[in-house]
Structure 1
Amino acid sequence: MRRRPFAAPSATPAELATARQAASLLLGYPDEELLARLPLLRAAVAPLPPALAGPLGRFLDHLETTPLAQLQTDYVDTFDLRRRCCLYLTYFTHGDTRKRGMALLQFKHLYSRAGMTLADGELPDHLAVVLEFAALGDAVRGERLLQEYRPGLELVRVALEERASPWASVLHAVSATLPPVDAADREAVLRLAQQGPPAEDVGLDPYGALPFAPPEFIPQPASGASP
């Protein structure tokens, strides 16, 4: 599949890295440390292009006005209990099959080459980790990973939008750091929505039983980030 050139003309590589690093932090489990970083995140996000600063700023507003206990409850309910909101990208391409283990090893190899070490118990395909790699490790390979797993990323984004989740703004900003969704990725998103990820004999229930958006509900990223 042919991909468009890296990034958007309205965002510099440094701005893309800042947006991805901010999104990485905002997709982690909310805690006191994250709230303490709010002033720093505000200062980092404010100068970004509107397509990036807008959605990230909206989520920062939500963090500032929501009690921490509520944030934590909502995070677990959103990302840990709902398959379509799963932040582990290889889940969408490999499900809980043996092939997923090999994909995770490939992620670790890329990180190792960039000098990045994962924390104990941290899986390398979590979107927050991939975004940190793209921001601080290897921008080119990180971009490729996000593009390779774009259908799963967009599936999560639309699922969050359907739920009117505040985290949808963060996924919207992530999508805005990438080229517009192409036809092949749109088709892949729809297949995931209808069939779910691959499964072995003890696989997972398909998404087919769950309502999902029609093709026209998968919008392009904001025009400010179009290549």
Structure 2
Amino acid sequence: MRWRRHRDEEPATDPQALAATWQVVSLLLDYPDDVLLERVPMLREVVDGLPDPQRLPLTEFLDTLEHGDLGALQRDYVDTFDVTRKCSLHLTYFAQGDTRRRGVALVEFKQAYRRAGVEFDTDVELPDHLSVVLEFGALHDQHTAWHLLTRHRVGIEVLRAGLAQRGSPWLPVVEALRSTLPVLDGDDEEALLRLVAEGPPQEEVGLEPYAVDPRLNPRPEPADTTALLGPTIPVGAPR
């Protein structure tokens, strides 16, 4: 299955607001813990300066995070993102599932980071994790991240549909991300309906092609970058 639409379309959101939104979404899609709670005031300052389509849903989730039961939120996070197939945070999973083709798709993500001068630590997280892609786009290469996100735009819609079906507190976070991306149309809508109905393809073979692919070398020096929100510790942050 191929996602073709919108790959070359330019973002409509101001680059600075786009980067700030992606950085905040990246952090809020991480596992909720005491460190994230401590960052709520800083995140509110950033979110308060965003346009309404991003500010309103992100503020809603920050309220949930700040005033909700952290233990319950942590259990819900695991049950949502680690268990539910249609709520995966790994973008290649929606199109390739647990199949051999996914290994090649993961290599393409890592190569995209490398071309931008960023080395990725696969011991922390797979390179297609949504938080990783957004962190990369916010701090390193917005254009490349935009291409990766729009290429997997249908997968993000499947994630949104899964969160909506569960009444998930993370739905507003993904809605804020969606507000920065192109709308779906045509072939993408048909692909979305198929994925929502059928779920990702299954083939229990592991990810061996990703681990041994010779295209992962050589290693250039990583680029020097500065974070928008100060020091952060996102899931599998590109290095």
TM-score band w.r.t. shorter chain: 0.7 to 0.9
Match of residue 63 from structure 2: 61
Cα separation, partners in 2 of 1:117 and 1:194, compared to 1, 3 Å: same
What amino acid sits opposite 1:5 in the alignment? E
From 106, 109, 117, give the equivalent of 1:107: 109
Task: State the distance in 2 between where 1:92 and 1:2 align.
Answer: 16
From 76, 83, 87, give the equivalent of 2:89: 87
Q: Is 1:192 the counterpart of 2:195 in the alignment?
A: yes
Secondary structure of 1:170 counterpart: helix
Match of residue 11 from structure 2: 7
The 5-angstrom pairing of residues 193-208 of structure 1 reads 193-200=196-203, 202=204
**Identity among equivalent pairs (%):** 51
Any gaps of 5 or more consecutive residues in structure 2?
A: 206-239
What amino acid sits opposite 1:58 in the alignment? E
What amino acid sits opposite 1:81 in the alignment? V
Task: State the distance in 2 between where 1:149 and 1:2 align.
Answer: 10
Match of residue 141 from structure 2: 138
Task: State the distance in 1 between where 2:106 and 2:20 align.
Answer: 25
What amino acid sits opposite 1:83 in the alignment? R
Task: State the distance in 2 between where 1:151 and 1:46 align.
Answer: 29
Match of residue 156 from structure 2: 153
From 97, 100, 124, give the equivalent of 2:99: 97
How big is the shift at 1:176? 0.4
From 115, 128, 131, give the equivalent of 2:131: 128
Structure possessing the higher relative contact order (Cα contacts under 8 Å, 6 or more residues apart): 2
Match of residue 228 from structure 2: none
From 167, 170, 173, give the equivalent of 2:170: 167
Match of residue 25 from structure 1: 27
Task: State the distance in 2 between where 1:87 and 1:93 align.
Answer: 13
What amino acid sits opposite 1:193 in the alignment? V
RMSD of the TM alignment (CA)?
Answer: 1.5
Q: If the length of structure 2 is used for normalisation, what is the TM-score? A: 0.79
What amino acid sits opposite 1:175 in the alignment? R
Secondary structure of 1:39 counterpart: helix
How big is the shift at 1:98? 1.1
Task: State the distance in 2 between where 1:166 and 1:2 align.
Answer: 29
Q: If the length of structure 1 is used for normalisation, what is the TM-score? A: 0.83
Cα separation, partners in 2 of 1:2 and 1:161, compared to 1, 3 Å: closer
Task: State the distance in 1 between where 2:53 and 2:164 align.
Answer: 17
* Matched residues, number: 200
Task: State the distance in 1 between where 2:44 and 2:187 align.
Answer: 36
The 5-angstrom pairing of residues 168-183 of structure 1 reads 168-183=171-186
Secondary structure of 2:175 counterpart: helix
Task: State the distance in 1 between where 2:172 and 2:36 align.
Answer: 17
Task: State the distance in 1 between where 2:107 and 2:143 align.
Answer: 19
Task: State the distance in 2 between where 1:163 and 1:182 align.
Answer: 25
How big is the shift at 1:2? 4.6
Cα separation, partners in 2 of 1:199 and 1:163, compared to 1, 3 Å: closer
> Which deviations, in whole Å up to 9, do the C-alpha atoms of 1:67-86 show, x marking residues without a partner?
22122111001111111111
